[in-house]
């Protein structure tokens, strides 16, 4: 008999359901199973006297085993779970589970050793349903606006951007590297006349970071587009994109997210507040923050957290764009005006989720900026993209894992990556 998904069951119509046994309760006359599939769960009620073969086939079977059950869904006012139950005529055990190696209250690192089991919980499945909804919404928004989705190589011949934090791999008799950003190739798409592109793909960073928001491989969502007048256009597009995706996610998952994660999905209003790095520091010292020399160049982790407080206090807004970083800390490809990089970071709930910028598209200026950072030969192939005509352009890179973590108020990135990769973890 054809399999029917649990949320599509019709009453009094014989069919087969397939799924995990979430719970088994064995009483004197009855066995109750909670069977769950990706759409929902239902109680399977087995009367022992009537169904001796089923009782026999369930001998030694524990929760997390996989079953196929044929029978009929019926209304039942006694069953709490949705007021329905499934009365079986036959049951087949498709896979017998051993006793689980992890408990619900295991610490995150133990859980990650058995990630496939950890992911079975309703809560953890929900993380990925929400993430999938969010990325699909971004895709939908961009495709509607004439963006083309591309896939750039992750094996690259020269260390991109700065060279400091790339993984080296053996490439036959040569060295290659894992891309730490699609940056160069998304700009190549601009030189190729694509005008508007995006890419969702893996990003590799050989950083020994042990924070709650760093991993060595994460999912990046990158956007690049041509004929902008300034990086204001880039920020505007990012605002529209995030508003669209958050609204869609709230519509579909707002209620259940509140119930399971205890957090509200807030759809932000336009425009998001904007402040220069200098302004931020002059404001957060009022919260008792001690400014250091380093802070002139970048936002410290603590300062990032205070940006959240600042933007809530001052603007009642969860997001803030920070602009006017000094050129020493910004990539050489950011366009500069009066020496100031024409880019920004976007901070959400105290964490950087994006870096974006208008790019320098003029060959001579770009080459000079690359030389100034001592990049020379490594970026020669990239500089060539700008020799034969290239429109002004800009874009940004979003960290998807960070967005998921912040959206669901989950304390660490380890829990929101399908499989986390960090300096000490490369299995399973």
CB of 48 to ligand 4AD, least distance (A): 53
Binding residue count for ligand 4AD, defined by CB under 6 A: 21
- Burial readout 130-158 (b: 16 or more C-beta within 10 A, e: otherwise): bbebbbebbbebbeeeebeebebebebeb
Which strands sit side by side in the sheet containing 155-156, from one edge to the other?
155-156, 174-178, 168-171
CB of 186 to ligand 4AD, least distance (A): 7
From the list ligand 4AD, Mg ion, none, pick the one residue 17 interacts with, judged by a Cβ distance below 5 to 8 Å according to partner type. Answer: none
CB of 399 to Mg ion, least distance (A): 9
* Dist. CA 41–CA 53, nearest whole Å: 23
Work out which of 37, 113, 195, 207 binds ligand 4AD, going by CB under 6 A. 207
CB of 315 to ligand 4AD, least distance (A): 21
Region from 3-11, 35-43, 211-219, 225-233 binding ligand 4AD, contact rule CB under 6 A: 211-219
- Judged by CB under 6 A, does residue 181 bind ligand 4AD? yes
From the list Mg ion, ligand 4AD, none, pick the one residue 219 interacts with, judged by a Cβ distance below 5 to 8 Å according to partner type. Answer: none
Considering only residues 10 to 69 of the shown chain, the ones binding ligand 4AD according to CB under 6 A are none
* Dist. CA 45–CA 90, nearest whole Å: 12
Work out which of 205, 349, 393, 414 binds ligand 4AD, going by CB under 6 A. 205
- Burial readout 73-100 (b: 16 or more C-beta within 10 A, e: otherwise): beebeebeebebbbbbeebebeeeeeee
- Judged by CB under 6 A, does residue 402 bind ligand 4AD? yes
* Dist. CA 408–CA 127, nearest whole Å: 8
Work out which of 45, 131, 355, 369 binds ligand 4AD, going by CB under 6 A. 355
Work out which of 183, 226, 249, 404 binds ligand 4AD, going by CB under 6 A. 183
CB of 354 to Mg ion, least distance (A): 7
* Of 197, 235, 203, residue with least CA distance to 217: 203
Instruction: Copy the structure tokens of residue 214.
Output: 């760093």
CB of 402 to ligand 4AD, least distance (A): 5
Residue nearest to ligand 4AD (CB): 399
* Identity of the residue, 65 or 355, whose beta carbon is nearer to Mg ion in the bound complex: 355
**Residue with the two structure tokens 């699909």:** 136
Work out which of 43, 323, 342, 354 binds ligand 4AD, going by CB under 6 A. 354
Count CB atoms within 10 A of the CB of residue 50.
12
- Alpha-carbon distance values, 146 to 141, 150, 171, 192 (Å): 9, 13, 36, 16
* Dist. CA 206–CA 215, nearest whole Å: 9
Q: Is residue 225 within 8 Å of residue 424, measured between CB atoms? A: no
Residue 208: partners with Cβ closer than 8 Å, 6 or more residues away = 423
Considering only residues 338 to 397 of the shown chain, the ones binding Mg ion according to CB under 5 A are 355
Region from 5-13, 261-269, 389-397, 418-426 binding ligand 4AD, contact rule CB under 6 A: 389-397
Q: Is residue 176 within 8 Å of residue 216, measured between CB atoms? A: no
- Judged by CB under 6 A, does residue 422 bind ligand 4AD? no
Instruction: Copy the structure tokens of residue 78.
Output: 């006694």
CB of 170 to ligand 4AD, least distance (A): 23
- Judged by CB under 6 A, does residue 238 bind ligand 4AD? no
Work out which of 31, 137, 159, 357 binds ligand 4AD, going by CB under 6 A. 357
Length of the chain: 428
* Of 390, 400, 389, 352, residue with least CA distance to 186: 390
Assign 128 to helix, strand or coil.
Answer: helix
- Judged by CB under 6 A, does residue 187 bind ligand 4AD? no
Work out which of 272, 308, 321, 396 binds ligand 4AD, going by CB under 6 A. 396
Work out which of 187, 399, 405, 416 binds ligand 4AD, going by CB under 6 A. 399
What residues line the site for ligand 4AD (CB under 6 A)? 181, 183, 205, 207, 214-215, 218, 220, 222, 352-357, 395-397, 399, 401-402
Residues that bind Mg ion (CB under 5 A): 355
């Amino acid at each position: 008999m054809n399999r029917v998904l649990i949320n599509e069951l019709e009453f009094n119509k014989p069919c087969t359901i397939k799924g995990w046994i979430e719970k088994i309760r064995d009483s004197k006359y009855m066995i109750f199973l909670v069977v769950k599939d990706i759409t929902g769960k239902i109680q399977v009620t087995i009367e022992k006297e009537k169904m001796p073969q089923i009782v026999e086939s369930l001998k030694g079977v524990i929760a997390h085993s996989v079953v196929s059950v044929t029978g009929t869904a019926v209304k039942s006012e006694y069953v709490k779970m949705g007021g329905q139950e499934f009365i079986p005529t036959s049951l087949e055990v498709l896979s017998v589970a051993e006793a689980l190696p992890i408990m619900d209250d295991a610490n995150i690192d133990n859980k990650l050793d058995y990630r496939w089991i950890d992911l079975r919980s309703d809560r953890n499945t929900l993380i990925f349903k929400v993430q999938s909804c969010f990325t699909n919404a971004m895709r939908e928004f961009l495709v509607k606006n004439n963006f083309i989705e591309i896939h750039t190589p992750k094996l690259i011949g020269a260390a991109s951007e700065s060279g400091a934090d790339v993984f080296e791999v053996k490439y036959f008799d040569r060295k290659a590297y894992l891309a730490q950003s699609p940056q160069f190739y998304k700009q190549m798409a601009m030189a190729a006349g694509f005008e508007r592109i995006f890419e969702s793909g893996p990003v590799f960073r050989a950083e020994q970071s042990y924070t709650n928001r760093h991993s060595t491989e994460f999912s990046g969502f990158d956007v690049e587009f041509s004929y902008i007048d300034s990086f204001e256009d880039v920020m505007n597009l990012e605002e529209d994109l995030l508003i669209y995706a958050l609204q869609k996610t709230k519509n579909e998952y707002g209620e259940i997210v509140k119930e399971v994660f205890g957090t509200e999905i807030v759809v932000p209003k336009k425009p998001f507040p904007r402040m220069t790095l200098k302004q931020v520091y002059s404001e957060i010292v009022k919260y008792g923050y001690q400014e250091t020399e380093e802070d002139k160049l970048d936002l410290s982790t603590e300062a990032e957290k205070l940006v959240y407080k600042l933007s809530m206090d001052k603007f009642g807004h969860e997001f803030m764009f920070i602009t006017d970083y000094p050129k020493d800390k910004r990539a050489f490809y950011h366009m500069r005006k009066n020496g100031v990089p024409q880019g920004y970071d976007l901070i959400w709930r105290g964490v950087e989720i994006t870096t974006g910028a208008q790019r320098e598209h003029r060959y001579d200026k770009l080459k000079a900026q690359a030389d100034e950072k001592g990049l020379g030969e490594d970026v020669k192939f990239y500089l060539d993209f700008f020799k034969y005509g290239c429109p002004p352009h800009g874009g940004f890179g979003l960290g998807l894992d960070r967005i998921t973590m912040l959206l669901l108020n989950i304390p660490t990135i380890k829990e929101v990556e399908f499989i986390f990769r960090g300096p000490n973890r490369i299995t399973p």
